[in-house]
Amino acid sequence: MAPVQWAELFLWMVALAGIIGVFCACMYRFIKNDTTEYDMEFLWDRKYRLKDLELTPKQRK
């Protein structure tokens, strides 16, 4: 392969790694921000307190 083709292949690999990295970062942020507040409000309809469910702030992170 000519040196230009190696450079193009490398740039495509960098671009693909960047896209995958951005996707992973977005998924991490979504999962990190999806706290028990959602569960408390929508699933439990605020029927229980965190103490009733035995969730401490440390366990929620």
The one-digit pLDDT tens for each residue of the chain (61 residues) are 677 899 999 999 999 999 999 999 999 888 877 666 666 666 666 677 667 767 666 655 5
pLDDT at position 39: 66
pLDDT at position 33: 72
Q: Which amino acid is at 25?
A: A
pLDDT at position 11: 95
- Asked if 40 and 50 touch (Cβ cutoff 8 Å), the reply is yes
Tokens of 49: 């307190």
pLDDT at position 32: 76
- Terminal-residue alpha carbon distance, the chain: 50
pTM score = 0.54
